[in-house]
Amino acid sequence: MIEIRKEVKKDVVILHISGSIDSITAGKLKEEMDREIEDGRKFIIDLSDVNYVSSAGWGAILGRLKRIKQSGGDIVFCGMKREVQAIYNLLELDQIIKAFETVEDALSHFGVEVEEKKSLEERIKEIIVDDPLIHPRRLLRMLRDEGYDTGRMRIKRILRRMNLWKPMDRLLFAYNELKKEKK
C-alpha cells in the first residue's frame, strides 16, 4: 500500500510518500507525477516513510525524468532510509538524481527559501504540553497542516524514542514541563 501527499511551494512539487513503491503501487506514483508535469516544474520525492522501492518503483520515477528535464524541470530525492539509500547507490542513481537529507535541503537546492521553524521534536513537545491526550493521528494532521514533512511511522518512531507513545507518559511529560515553567 502507498500513500502520497502532495505539497506545492512555488514551482516545486513535493511528494511525501509512505509505504512501499513496488509493481502494484508504482502506477499511483506515475499518475500523481503525470498530473503535475508542467514546464519547468521541479519535483522533490520525499522517501522518509518509504521502506522499500522495487525496480518498478525506480522505473516509474526514471520514466518521468526525461520529460521533466526536457521541460526545464528536475527531480531530487530526500529522506531516504538506509535500505532504500543502499539500492539507490547500488543502481548508481546518484549519477542521475540528487539526494538530500531533508525536504528543506532539497528546497534550498531549487532556490526556494525555507522559513525557519522549530524542529519536529520541539513542536511535538509543545503540542503535547498543550494537549497531552492528543491522539497520534490528530498530532500528525496538526503537524502536516503546519507544514511539517512527516508521516505516521515517523511520528510513531519519534514518540517512542521520546518515551511519549503512551497517553500516561504524555500526561506525565506535560505535568513535568508545566512544573518547570512555574519555577
Give me the pLDDT at residue 14, please: 94
CB 132 within 8 A of CB 116: no
Q: Is the pLDDT of residue 114 over 80?
A: no
Give me the pLDDT at residue 146, please: 82
Q: Give CA 145 to chain center in angstroms.
A: 13
Count the neighbouring beta carbons within 10 Å of the beta carbon of residue 4.
18
CB 134 within 8 A of CB 145: no
Backbone angles phi, psi at 71, to 5 degrees: -90, 10
Q: In the structure, what pLDDT confidence band is assigned to residue 182 with cuts at 50, 70 and 90?
A: confident
The structure's pTM equals 0.66
Classified by CATH at the fold level, domain 2-109 comes out as Transcription Regulator spoIIAA (3.30.750)
Task: Check residue 94 and report its DSSP letter.
Answer: G
Locate the domains of the chain by residue range: 2-109, 120-176
Q: Quick one: which H or E segment has residue 170?
A: helix 167-182
Give, in order, the Cα–Cα distances in Å from 118 to each of 115, 122, 125, 147: 10, 6, 11, 11
Task: Check residue 76 and report its DSSP letter.
Answer: E
Give me the pLDDT at residue 52, please: 94
Give me the pLDDT at residue 37, please: 85
Give me the pLDDT at residue 148, please: 84
Q: 70: which 3 cell numbers?
A: 526536457
Give me the pLDDT at residue 1, please: 82
Q: What is the pLDDT of residues 24-77, one digit of tens each?
A: 999 999 999 998 887 778 999 999 999 999 999 999 999 999 889 988 899 999
Q: What is the pLDDT of residues 121-172, one digit of tens each?
A: 999 999 999 999 999 999 998 898 787 878 899 999 999 999 999 999 999 9
Give me the pLDDT at residue 20, please: 95
